[in-house]
Structure formats: structure tokens, C-alpha cells
Amino acid sequence: MAAEVEAATGRQLTIDGDLSLSIWPTPRLSCSGVRLGNIEGAAGPDMIRLDTARIRIALGPLTQGRIEVDTVELIEPRIELERLADGRTNWSFMPAARQAGANGPASGRSGGFSIPEVKFNDIRVRNGTLVYRDQASGLVEHVSNINATIVAGSLAGPFRAE
């Protein structure tokens, strides 16, 4: 799983805690100590840190080739969004294959990674923190104690949040 995330984003995924996967009666994943690495030059080593993540996928749509995520629970996530002095942003992801070939000849493929259609019925954030840092202006904003419920028809929206 970590290798696929790195191939898709160009970032290292680390799971320092427990990892649990269940298939029956519904596909379910639980993990703790999750970290997604940051870009070079960012203030901290991690863009995202989660105490715990729990994901449950609807079995019916999965048997029909569709991905419908029943619930995602993110406990104590910390997300650090950062604009570096040179204008790069850490929320712009580039697959590792494209990073490696950025200075080389163009490939006939567009990175080899496509994001499937995914529906999210219920995303819950518990005690989250969001940090925005702009190195050029020196601006740093912190928002803490974020508790939210989000529904997304797909990764592109529409979105509803409380």
C-alpha cells in the first residue's frame, strides 16, 4: 500500500502503529500512526499525520466494480498546507515516475495512474488541526479542534460539510 501511495503522489506513506484489515462482513481498514511525507524545503517532515484512520467500504457496490466508502473516520488529523518561498505548494502531488522523468525524455504515458470514481457517504474528522504556512510572506495560520462531517459524491464533488 505504501508503495502505491508513493507512486501516485511522490510522497512517502508511513504507518507507525497497528494496521488491521477485515473483509467480512464489510471491507474495513483501521490504522494508527499514519504519516504522509512533505515536499523538500517544507517546514516539517510530514504534510499529514493521523492518530487513527478507520475506513469501511460498502460491499454491494464493490461487487459491481464501484467504490462506495460508507465511512471514513479520521481521529486527530494534522494537515499542514504550505507555500514555499519559490512558489511550490505541498498540496500539488506528482507521481514518483513523473518526478524522476521530469528532466528526461517525455514518456508516452501520462504517469500511469488514474483515480477511480469513489463516493464518500460519511467522512468524520475528530479533533483535527489545520496549519497554513506561507514562507514568502511569513504568514502562519492554525485552526484547531476541528470536528466535521463531510459527504462527497466523488473526489471531484459535489461536497457537503458540517
In tens, the pLDDT along 121-146 reads: 999 999 999 999 999 999 999 999 99
Which residues, in sequence order, are CB contacts of 10 under 8 Å at separation 6+? 93, 94, 95, 96, 98, 99
Partners of 152 in the β-ladder: 120, 159
- Percent of the chain at pLDDT exceeding 90: 60
CA separation for the pair 84, 33 (Å, rounded): 26
The percentage of the chain sitting over the pLDDT mark of 70, rounded to a whole number, equals 86
Of 10-19, 91-100, 102-111, which one has max mean pLDDT? 10-19
pLDDT at 105 > cutoff 80:
no
Q: Is the confidence at residue 96, as pLDDT, over 90?
A: no
Q: Is the pLDDT of residue 3 over 70?
A: yes
CA-angle at 143, arms to 139 and 144, nearest 5°: 145
Give me the pLDDT at residue 138, please: 95
Strand 118-134 relative to strand 67-75, pairing: parallel
Mean pLDDT of 21-50: 94
pLDDT band, very low/low/confident/very high, at 108 (cuts 50, 70, 90): very low
pTM: 0.78
Q: How many angstroms separate the CA atoms of 57 and 29, rounded?
A: 9
